[in-house]
């Protein structure tokens, strides 16, 4: 099922029309219509806004439906091998994520985030209710704005904050940067 179809299905389950969801997500009704039709993929920020209104996560919008029974004793339920990480794809080519946990069904989100050089965003967004976010820079330099506070973090630096506070993470440098993000509860 495509992202647009999932958004449409969840919107209908919530008994929202296009204009209502667009207004609640603070996006245009035209953008939402294009997303649902599959003629655009939208930015990470747009998808995050929609997911929040629909009480879901961005990752769940991208997950394929599976009818297979889950064997919780199987290695793949508990271990993620480096070459078998699930990639969370986004329309933003300067932003990519790999899931470091087997799935997003638990109480914690553990993700390796790659930010290409010059990855900037205009929006400050909250993305979960309650919990904490902790980000450890594994390479490069990232700029984090949490509310009105600005921080520069280099390789090995770590930050913890309340993810309900509007924030953004950027790579203003000319080199690729990466960080490990741990968030509770799961927000993707």
Q: What is the CATH number of domain 75-184?
A: 2.60.120.10
What is the CATH T-level fold of the domain 3-62, as seen in this structure? 434 Repressor (Amino-terminal Domain) (1.10.260)
Rounded to 5°, angle at Cα 183 from 178 and 187: 100
Q: Are 51 and 63 in contact (CB under 8 A)?
A: no
Q: Are 4 and 37 in contact (CB under 8 A)?
A: yes
What pTM does this model have? 0.68
Domains of the chain, by residue range, sit at 3-62, 75-184
Task: Give yes or no for residue 86 having a pLDDT over 70.
Answer: yes
CA distance 144 to 52: 21
CA distance 32 to 19: 9
**Tens-digit pLDDT profile for residues 137-187:** 999 999 999 999 999 999 999 999 998 899 999 999 999 999 999 988 877
**Tens-digit pLDDT profile for residues 30-63:** 989 988 888 877 777 788 889 889 988 777 777 6
CA distance 62 to 178: 22
């Amino acid at each position: 099922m495509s992202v647009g179809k999932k958004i449409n299905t969840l919107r209908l389950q919530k008994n929202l029309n296009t204009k209502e969801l667009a207004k609640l997500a603070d996006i245009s009704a035209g953008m939402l219509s294009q997303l649902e039709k599959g003629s655009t993929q939208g930015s990470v920020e747009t998808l995050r806004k929609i997911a929040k209104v629909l009480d879901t996560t961005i990752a769940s919008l991208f997950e394929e439906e599976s009818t297979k029974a889950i064997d919780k004793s199987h290695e793949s339920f508990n271990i993620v091998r480096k070459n078998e990480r699930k990639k969370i794809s986004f329309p933003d080519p300067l932003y990519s994520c790999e899931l470091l946990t087997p799935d997003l069904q638990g109480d914690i989100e553990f993700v390796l985030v790659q930010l290409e050089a010059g990855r900037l965003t205009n929006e400050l967004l909250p993305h979960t209710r309650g919990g904490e976010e902790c980000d450890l820079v594994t390479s490069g330099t990232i700029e984090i704005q949490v509310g009105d506070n600005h921080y520069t973090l280099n390789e090995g630096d770590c930050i913890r904050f309340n993810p309900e506070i509007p924030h953004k993470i950027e790579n203003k440098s000319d080199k690729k940067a990466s960080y490990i993000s741990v968030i509770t509860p799961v927000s993707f």
